[in-house]
Amino acid sequence: MKSFLKYTLATMVGIVSLVFIFFIMLIAIGSSGDEVKIRPNSVLSLKLNKKIVENAEKNPFLDFGIDDFNDNFPLGLNDILKSIEHAAVDENIEAIILESGSVGAGMSTIKEIRDALIDFKVSGKKIIAFADGYTQTGYYLASVADEIYLHPEGDMELKGIGANVMFFKDFFEKIGIEPQVIRHGKFKSAVEPFLMNKMSEANFEQTKKFIDALWNSMVDDIASSRGVSVEDLNAIADGFLIREAKDAISHKLVDGLIYQDEVKAKIEAAAGTEYKQIVKLQKYMSTNGMSGIGKDKIAVIYCEGSIIHGKSSDGTMGSETIAKAIAKARKSENIKAIVLRVNSPGGSSLASDIIWRETVLAQKEKPLIVSMGDYAASGGYYIATAADKIYAQPNTLTGSIGVFGVLFSMEELLKDKLGLNVDGYNTHTYSDMGNATRKLTIDEKNIIQHSVERVYDTFITHVAEGRKMSKEEVDKIGQGRVWAGSDAINIGLVDELGGVDEAIREAAKRANLEDYSIREYPKKDGFGFSKIFGGMMMQHSLESQLNEISPELTKWLELKDMKGTQARIPFMLEVY
């Protein structure tokens, strides 16, 4: 009876919770069409410390101030850029207050937003930046502002950037797991952590080159905005000279030290008027429709995340989903050109080829332009090769033209460490090839090596055809090597430096369009119960905590579950 009452009560609580959340959703859906009114003399507030993705779904809980839900909804780069563009011509917006001490995005995404803010300033409206403290990337964005303010007790970082890789060779040897790696490309270093205890010379060479390129891009932009020389900025970073807030003043990196309550006066001085309201970005997004006018359309297809076979899910790009979106845009009479927005470190070579095939078909019928985000590497570059023109930011990581396969043998762990023996029967010689309980034979390794070589040859053939190069030229700059966008343009992997807006304008030009609207793909699924009861919040919390403890561990867990030959960048770069 006690158990019966307990489970009955739990069921009743669950039903009440379901009804409550369903009621909230109905209100949210019903109010989604309500117009957000922007009063004259308003200021747009940009807080970009949340995760930023290419194309975010609408948050139905925005109007209810439920922070636990709202914090788990990322911002869409597309919405941010459109809002900044709209604010420049919106008579009710007098200025922008940039309140992003940190930014939840990679460096290329930040540059994209930064460039949009530079365009905003052409309108004559001011940008004021204020934060309690600035991370390095947070300051990179803030440096675009006309005036930068910092809390008197706040911190600011300008210390240089680096990349670290955790190596598992000794760990695997201790526990009796043997990584069996087959790869092509001396720079294809995604599997090095399983085989070595430090970077190979080739990996160190490529890492140094693209890290230096990313840093140089950042300091060049800061120097241009702040009127401080690159040499001085490098000296500041090398000596860690910003140790307290007043140091940022003396080195001309901020314009003043003020408290939160003093920000209002600074905004009003910049705007030249007393503002009536501060409009949050998420609210402002619903007021603008700056996608253009006209029956003719340009499709922007968002290719974001690791490339997998099948349908897309959170954080992944499914070959079925993206191929279907490209095919739909190709077949639509109203869509006159296609922009592929790629932000991917790569993934399954088969899935990449499925997507590539659709890009080839699309390019034969309509202008196809690629815009690269933080990453368009390995499989991410694979799907870009058929484009008429490729845009990247100077700090985009691209290339990584190479492939690998990895299997883990637990034979020693099972037999020698745990005392477990495995026996069985197979109908044919290779029936259990890939079985983790034993090592690969020489013949099996040769079979997989042949597959890897075949995929690599297909990869460089696609690149050669798309980029009008010989296979020998592609192989020379391939071999799995990662390039920054600023270097990739010099070796023919990229055509021009710029963001998604430049790519859209190029697509319109090639399609001879003056009046057009934007159609975004893939279509976002409607917000449903699965988002609430599918463990979204718990999963987000666990993933973020695990990644904070050991980013390399989470990447290994992801790599462990990969199927088939992979075309993937060595590691994801995090800059703070």
Q: Domain ranges in the chain?
A: 38-158+242-285, 297-568
* Best CA proximity match to 51, nearest among 397, 391, 395, 304: 304
**What is the pLDDT confidence band of residue 330, given thresholds at 50, 70 and 90?**
very high
Burial of 16 (0-12, 13-18, 19+ CB in 10 A): exposed
282 vs 570: which has the higher pLDDT: 282
Report the distance separating Cα 461 and Cα 467, nearest Å: 10
pLDDT one-digit tens code per residue, 40-58: 999 999 999 989 999 987 6
pLDDT one-digit tens code per residue, 379-411: 999 999 999 999 999 999 999 998 888 889 999
pTM: 0.84
Rounded to the nearest 5 percent, the helix, strand and coil shares of the chain are 45, 20, 35
In order of 72, 191, 371, the CA distances from 66 in angstroms are: 10, 42, 35
Alpha-carbon torsion, ordered 374, 375, 376, 377, to 10 deg:
160
Report the distance separating Cα 402 and Cα 538, nearest Å: 36
Question: Taking each helix axis from N to C terminus, what angle separates 536-549 and 551-560, rounded to the nearest 10 degrees?
Answer: 120
pLDDT one-digit tens code per residue, 336-394: 999 999 999 999 999 999 999 999 999 999 999 999 999 999 999 999 999 999 999 99
What pLDDT sits at residue 277?
A: 86
Report the distance separating Cα 79 and Cα 208, nearest Å: 34
Please state whether beta strands 297-304 and 335-344 pair in parallel, antiparallel, or not at all (unpaired): parallel
Report the distance separating Cα 139 and Cα 131, nearest Å: 9
**How much is the CA Rg of the chain, to the nearest whole Å?**
26
Report the distance separating Cα 350 and Cα 564, nearest Å: 8
Report the distance separating Cα 25 and Cα 250, nearest Å: 52
pLDDT one-digit tens code per residue, 168-194: 999 999 999 999 988 876 776 778 888
For 333, other C-beta atoms within 10 Å of its C-beta total 8
Please name the fold of domain 38-158+242-285.
Answer: 2-enoyl-CoA Hydratase; Chain A, domain 1 (3.90.226)
Report the distance separating Cα 237 and Cα 253, nearest Å: 12
**What is the pLDDT confidence band of residue 286, given thresholds at 50, 70 and 90?**
confident
22 vs 73: which has the higher pLDDT: 73
Q: Which two tokens stand for residue 29?
A: 């859906």
* Side chain identity, residue 300: V
Q: Which residues contact 51 (CB under 8 A, 6 or more apart)?
A: 74, 75, 104, 105
Q: Which residues contact 222 (CB under 8 A, 6 or more apart)?
A: 139, 140, 143, 228, 233
Report the distance separating Cα 214 and Cα 221, nearest Å: 11
Q: Would 38-158+242-285 and 297-568 be classified into the same CATH topology?
A: yes
Comparing 88-97, 186-195, 302-311, the range with the smallest average pLDDT is: 186-195
CATH superfamily of 297-568: 2-enoyl-CoA Hydratase; Chain A, domain 1 (3.90.226.10)
User: Is residue 562 over pLDDT 90?
Assistant: no
Helix, coil or strand: residue 535: coil
Sign of the Cα torsion 493, 78, 531, 556 reads positive
Report the distance separating Cα 89 and Cα 120, nearest Å: 9
What pLDDT sits at residue 164?
A: 86
What pLDDT sits at residue 107?
A: 94
pLDDT one-digit tens code per residue, 480-537: 899 999 999 999 999 999 999 999 999 999 999 999 999 999 987 554 444 444 444 4
Report the distance separating Cα 272 and Cα 94, nearest Å: 8
Active site residues: 188, 378
Q: What are phi and psi of 339, to 5 degrees?
A: -115, 120
Q: Which two tokens stand for residue 566?
A: 């992979």
- Which of 31-40, 142-151, 156-165, 189-198 holds the top average pLDDT? 142-151
Report the distance separating Cα 538 and Cα 450, nearest Å: 43
